[in-house]
Structure 1
Amino acid sequence: MTDVSLFSNEQIAALLAALPDPAFILTRSGKYAALFGGTDARYYHDGSALVGKSIPDVLNGEKAAWFIAQIAIALAKTGLHVIEYQLNRKDVKGLDADGPEDTIWFEGRVQALEYRVQGEDAVLWVASNITASKKLEALLRMQSETDALTGLANRRKLMQALTDNYELFARYQTPASVLIFDIDKFKNINDTYGHLSGDKAIQATADVCRRELRTTDFPARLGGDEFVILMPHTGWEQAKPIAERLRQKVPAALRTLGTLGDGATISGGLSELLPGDSSFEDVLKRADDALYRAKRDGRNRIVHLEA
């Protein structure tokens, strides 16, 4: 441990002032008793005007209450209290129109002090701007859950959405339907016009899904030319017109690509979650079986299977 007696009071004050992240002394009631550091101008403005104010003077309602609650938690702990939080212009009083549009993320490291400040228990709150790492984290998460060709959800994200909806159904009987469809004779497109043309057909199909589906629907590319549409809060009777709209709109979009879309159709299998299902895999298998029946029955149709 460093012997602070080696430094003069002026040197210690200079060290504290040079801290890149701001360090606040906050009392139990939320008063800004002191501020040190915050010299990294890339992330922080001069906060010296906060000293002497209280958190409710600076932050709106729920956000102010949250900060004061975190101070209480830190004071009740024996160790460091570490939290992540966000601030936007709606949280800060007087910044509704002038503040930054983007949300700013912070990591707070909050430690109870062993002495009282201005007659109150107090904490040291070091705030580190972690917005860049949060944006990178969100980008990596999006990339891990997004199909690169279409921009729709990929298989991984689909499986999570299916799991979530199955759990809602199992607990609250909240309905959900699943449509699996693909482009009829898609192999002929690849063989005749090449894989780049096949990619264009897949992208055009994804665009139709984005245009024609409801905002609550969840389209995903399962692989190849196979797509899955999860329709939450929707029984199969309500899902059938949505599926039929795709059956009409996708071929129309493919025809705009030229000769590769001549005669293009899609086939689909539709099912909904049922009381006897033990997992989302049951409804997925029924929809897949219905898709194969649609192929067997002549293609260009949507087939529904209940069991």
Structure 2
Amino acid sequence: MELRHLRYFVAVAEERHFGRAAERLHMAQPPLSQQIRQLEAELGLTLLTRTTRRVDLTPAGAAYLERAREILGAVDAAAHEAASIASGRRGRLLIGCVGSATYSLLPALARTLRAELPEVEFGFRGEMLSPDQAAALTDGTLDLGLLRPLPDSPGLSITHLRQENLLVAMPKDHRFAGRRRVRIADLDGEGLVIHAGGGRSAMNAMIQELFDSAGIRSHIAHEVAETSTLVTFVAAGLGVAIVPEPTAALAVPGVVYVPLTGTPGVELVAATRAGDESPLLTRALAILAGLSNS
């Protein structure tokens, strides 16, 4: 028995006429009649009763019709699902974001992905430090990461998204709060609120390098894990913080953002597992690139 036998039988059973069923199937009537007889012979059952004017179902034929429809429906659904996955319109994608991207890029990305790929299941992890994302990509916990470049990223494929200017987040009553810009040298001796060090944050290493290049020592008042906590500490007057410009989207009362001049800014990249050519991932990266350039 082959699937075509089921399709032939369903057509005859629904049309109740061999001629109309043959037209529907785009085939001649004699071969269709022969295929139905072969099906009945293999089953050892009479599925149809035939007269000169119409075809009727036997009780066994009526039961067989119900099951045949279920089988054909399942086969068609499987083909549709496979085609959707192969074209990147269905599947599951887990995405991680560093703090500033969580507040600036993630909302628009989530809305666009769900609008353009409604059959895809998305999961998002915000406020995730870059080294943690790299580890999660490697072990398969994440499929796509929005992070800062790391000095060593074996097994990852990196795509540039955008270059972000740096700001100094400071309490609204800070002596620099009214300035149009701040230099790194102006922060000599300032208490810093900074992301965790010891290789746990790419931003920590970059900020330490800024101070070293300027020939001044950084004074770290507090180390935190999340950008939201960092800005909250600034609002509480516990120090100032150097942050990527999109962090300003996290509007915390009591915090003023002033541009930091004389620095190249910081890069935001998309990271995936090297060799991962998933059509879904390709679609997501194209959407992400469009949002990053807008």
Using the size of structure 2 for normalisation, the TM-score is 0.25
Q: Which has the higher contact order (CA 8 A, sep 6+)?
A: 2
If you compute each CA radius of gyration, which structure gives the higher value, 1 or 2? 2
Give TM-score, length-normalised by structure 1: 0.24
